[in-house]
Structure 1
Amino acid sequence: MLVSVCVFLAASFPATSAKADYIVPDAKFEALKPKGLRVSIPDEPGVQLFAFHANVNKELDGVAAGQLSRDITKSKNGRWIFQDDRLRLNIGDVINYWLYVQYEGVGYQRLDQSWTVTELVDPGDEDTSKGTPKPPVTPPPTRCDKSPTLVNGKPACQGQLIFEENFVTLDSAKWEHDIRIAGSPDFEFVAYTSEKGNSYVSDGILYVSPTLVSEVRGADFVTQGKLELPGCTGVAGSEECSKQAQGWDIVPPIFSARLWTRQHFSFCYGHVEVRARLPAGDWLFPELWLEPKENWYGRDYLSGRIRIAMARGNRELFLNDQKQSHIGERRLEAGCFLGLDQTVHSEAKSWEGGFGWCENFHVYSLTWTPGDMTFKVDGQTVGVLVPPPGGYRYLSAFAGSQDNPWGRGSKLAPFDREFYLSLGVGAGGIRDFPDNCTNGLQQDGLRPKPWKNSNPKAMLNFWLDKDYWRPTWSGDNSALQVDYVKVWAL
């Protein structure tokens, strides 16, 4: 089955430089009780972004991201505020930190700073971001205003927080692993496992990290071994659960992970936020998806898929067109997938620039309503997806098909049913890397993509090129890192 791809691409933010006419102000620190840290600077005309990076009781190496790392894109009550409600501090703890402020399009830093906790502030006593007593708290209304959002088949209240995950642990009451050898519809060169080396939580961050099968099972396993996956979630007895390498038909050379909420949480319509850092490394890509809970309209992309954010991990990847379009980690994509028969439809807008989505955390969000989908990054709208008059079944690529199942749904079908959250890392495959692309820089020697999407030997050719792409995978930098996931009802 071929697919329709609806994609939006986000622009980059300006690079760091320096001028002498702006000085980053002193930060105000507040250690909260029973836990939490608030750091703020005053707002002033021209300030566009505030970033805080810190370690607790540990030296910070230069401009490293640190244990605490966040970009703040909006001021509140006259201040730019970083707040982490999970951090438990004690008197005497030392915060080593550096600050970054974007002022009138230019970046400024304040480096090599430290602050020591001398008291714990009760956030209930005053509005410490302004230094004034907090106004009386109005209790939430007892009524539940009707929302179009459904949660696990039941109606939700307007504005209700219906899902929250801060990754204190990997909560089995929310998440399960998709354990299988990748196949239709994307045929990634990956086996998804529940091994701790591929997915784990550390310091409040979920890491989903790819590893080489040969580094776990031995040098010859990819070309000669038999891969069996205990606890397989794929079709029992199929190559989704067990595969023997035979000649050019090798086993997947990459172990990775994919976690989903399919058994525990699904919803239809709502607002989703994911704060994440995307994986870096040639031929890697993040899987920040909403997937259909049931194949109401059919298998694969007949029932659709929503992509919250994706940037290919290649630092320098170009389409071999007249403009040499950059499609690597500088370009962010979001949108939807839907497919019917052998037709392909694509509708895309693009913003390209020098910012690496694989270098810092950002908040990726989706507002999904019965009429459209709005995608944002750090609060900035980067694309609005609106179906054509009458719905997706009237797209020119699909019109006239006798087998079009979307007519039994709404205008937004197939995106009018419950979907669940899915987080993972893929490698290669036949969907996200066009055949007409070139990897690398001119001075280092350009290399065409090592496989053709239609070639039965695609995975083998990818594996034979490992000496070139493996050195670009570097520890945590090649992991999808997720700080939190939240979903609200409309």
Structure 2
Amino acid sequence: MLVILSVLLGVVCGQYVPHPQFHRYQEGFRLTLEDVPGMKTVLFRYDVNRHTGNVTSQSNYAQKVDGKWHYVNEDIRVTDSHEIRYSVKTNIDGQMYESPVFTWKAVEGPVLPGRRLRGAVIFRDDFSGSHLDKNAWTYVNSMFGQYHEEFQIYTHEEANTFVRHGHLYIKPTLTADFSLFSEHFLHTGTIDVKAIWGSCMYPLNTGRGCVRSGKDGLLPPVMSGMLYSKATMKYGSMEIRAKMPRGDWLWPAIWLMPKHNHYGGWPRSGEIDLVEARGNIVAKPYNGQNEGVNMVTCSLHWGSTTGNTNLRTSSSRRSLHGGHDFASGFHIYRIDWTPDHITTYLDGHQMLRVTVPSGGFWEKSHFSGNNLWSAGDKMAPFDQPFYLILNVAVGGTTGYFPDSFQYNTKKPWQNHDSHGVDDFWARRHDWLPTWRGDDVAMQIDYVEMRHL
């Protein structure tokens, strides 16, 4: 296993300076430094294989992209035998700060926190190439809007899903800005998802998911991205380092669904929501706690039917305070999933733990009648392979953005209104200024799945 050996720079003369990070990938390596206010220049210094006497030493200035300073070297292919020593010198408001020297090297054996599951890696993507690995991920093309009547089309357009500087971006854009469409087209045109993008993920919903006419109601005014992992996991650990998007009515999600509906359609076969968030700066009940981009939630869903008496949800949420939010930086989201429990973590701190008795989820839920999971393990329906889903949705009319909440901009539509998407788009002058560049994208640094 590869381990980065480094320490935080912390506070230097009253100024917090983040620590530089080393990333190895197939074509070479990358040095990065998080930006802080007032940072003007960043100079990375490094040498290779000082311990062997065959030293390559260089100093190079970094470029600032998307809130980070990057230097990329594609001339040196780093192997397990390499040792890299590196440091950073930076100018912040006219003062120079220089870091200690950090060392990166490959070491044998896993060095993991005690609580973390230690199984072998079955899948990892660091998004280190120039394009998304299509052998690892499946694009979703659909206007289905899930079951929340969301306002987006999911496409595989490069503008909506792309890889840059070692991060995956899932970014909403305006449909009217796409080359094939226009504002007039949203009201009068017809979108055939399969004809345009080559596939449609919801062929049984051709009236809504695959083919739709603006004459029957406004076409989805936003395009976005959704990915399914081809790798699946049953009992193990999954870790994702991600940054949430900021912008009104954005709904990012990192979640898992069963590869096969072994016990039947939703919710019989279960759902695991590792992360959900709202992109609004302010989204709170009157006189209540803010539940905007400063908060993330995680949930498990299971049941025998969709009725309230036969559907169960176990959830938890975590907030950041002091002006911090989940769109300001990256955080690590993890799930440990065993034959006895499911536990989720945020930056190593437990968020949710669901354990089950010997009678499984049926007993835990106090359902009556025949146990539809009796043929499975104690963790059924969570005893089957699940795949990972990454997406950024927009809006929706089933209540994720409650009508009763206070928001930083006025909510333009009412839930359960058949014309909600029309009202959303008509009031875009209110919310569109909050969509600023790549801030509207969910960014993923890496995804890792491990066996037990």
- Residue type of the partner of 1:375? T
Q: Letter of the 1:305 partner, please give it.
A: E
Paired residue type of 1:301: P
The 8 Å contact of residues 62 and 69 in structure 2, kept in 1 or not, is answered as no
**Who is 1:166 aligned against?**
126
Whether 1:246 and 2:211 are equivalent positions in the alignment is no
RCO comparison, higher one (Cα < 8 Å, 6+): 1
**In the aligned structure 2, how far is the partner of 1:98 from the partner of 1:180?**
46
> What is the aligned counterpart of 1:482 among 419, 422, 444?
444
Q: 2: CA distance between counterparts of 1:201 and 1:242?
A: 29
Distance (Å, rounded) in 1 between the aligned partners of 2:253 and 2:285 = 22
Q: What CA deviation, in whole Å up to 9, does each residue of 1:377-402 have, x standing for no partner?
A: 22222221234673333455x72367
Give 1:371's aligned residue.
Answer: 340
Contact 1:63–1:111 (CA under 8 A) maintained in structure 2: no
Q: CA–CA distance in 2 between the matches of 1:62 and 1:23? A: 22
Flag the 1:341–1:197 CA change in 2: closer, same or farther, 3 A: same
**Cα distance between partner residues in 2 of 1:59 and 1:187:** 44
Task: Note the 1:197-216 alignment, pairs <5 A.
Answer: 197-216=159-178
Question: 2:91 & 2:338 partners in 1: Cα distance?
Answer: 37
Report deviation, 1:192: 0.6
Structure 1 residues 388 and 466, CA, compared in 2 at 3 Å: closer, same or farther? farther
Q: Is 2:157 aligned against 1:195?
A: yes
Structure 1 length as normaliser, TM-score? 0.69
Structure 1's 191 and 89: CA in aligned 2 closer, same or farther, altered over 3 A? same
User: Residues 107-126 of structure 1: CA distance to partner in whole angstroms, max 9, x if unpaired?
Assistant: xx9975468x9xx98947xx
Equivalent position SS for 2:430? helix
| Structure 1 CA distance for aligned equivalents of residues 314 and 23 of structure 2 | 48
* Alpha-carbon distance in structure 1 between the residues aligned to 2:213 and 2:449: 41
Once the two structures are TM-superposed, the CA of residue 200 in structure 1 deviates from its matched residue by 0.9
C-alpha distance in 2 between matches for 1:54 and 1:401? 65
Partner of 1:439: 407
Percentage of identical aligned residues = 28
Secondary structure at the residue paired with 2:268?
helix
In structure 2, C-alpha distance between the alignment counterparts of 1:433 and 1:182, rounded to whole Å: 19
- Cα 1:203–1:98, aligned 2, differ >3 Å: closer, same or farther? same
Give the aligned length: 391
Which secondary structure state, in structure 2, belongs to the residue aligned with residue 265 of structure 1?
A: strand
Q: Is the 8 A contact 1:391 1:412 kept in 2?
A: yes
Q: Distance in 2 between matches of 1:324 and 1:311?
A: 17
1:274-353 matched pairs, under 5 angstroms = 274-320=240-286, 323-339=287-303, 340-343=305-308, 345-353=312-320
The answer as to whether partners of 1:287 and 1:424 remain within 8 angstroms in 2 is yes
Assess, with a 3 A threshold, how the Cα gap between structure 1 residues 24 and 349 changes in structure 2: closer, same or farther.
closer
Deviations for 1:51-95, whole angstroms, at most 9, x for unmatched residues? xx9676455669943338xxxxxxxxxxxxxxxxx96577xxx97
Residue 82 of structure 2 aligns with which residue? none
Distance 1:359 1:29 in 2: 18
1:268 maps onto 2:234 in alignment: yes
Classify the secondary structure of the residue corresponding to 1:460. helix
Q: Which structure shows the bigger proportion of residues in strand conformation?
A: 2
Alignment-derived partner of residue 433 in structure 2: 471
- Is the contact made by 1:59 and 1:96 (CA closer than 8 Å) also made in structure 2? no
| Secondary structure of the corresponding residue to residue 476 of structure 1 | helix
1:345 Cα deviation from its structure 2 partner: 4.1
Q: Distance in 2 between matches of 1:371 and 1:99?
A: 51
Q: Is the 8 A contact 1:24 1:110 kept in 2?
A: no
Helix, strand or coil at the partner of 2:177: helix
- 274-283 or 342-351: bigger deviation: 342-351
- Give the Cα separation in 2 of the matches to 1:380 and 1:224: 50
Cα deviation code 1:284-340 (max 9, x no counterpart): 1212111110112222333222112222110111123xx322110111111223352
In 1, the alpha carbon distance for the partners of 2:299 and 2:450 equals: 19
Q: Secondary structure at the match of 2:208?
A: coil
Residue 54 of structure 2 is matched in structure 1 by none
TM-score by length of 2: 0.74
- What is the CA-CA distance between 1:350 and the residue it aligns to? 4.0
Q: Secondary structure at the match of 2:191?
A: strand
C-alpha deviation, 1:186, in angstroms? 2.8
In 1, the alpha carbon distance for the partners of 2:418 and 2:372 equals 30
Deviation of 1:346 after TM superposition, in Å, equals 4.2
What aligned pairs does 1:91-240 form with structure 2 within 5 A after superposition? Answer: 112-113=96-97, 123=105, 159-167=119-127, 168=129, 169-216=131-178, 217-230=181-194, 231-235=199-203, 237-240=206-209
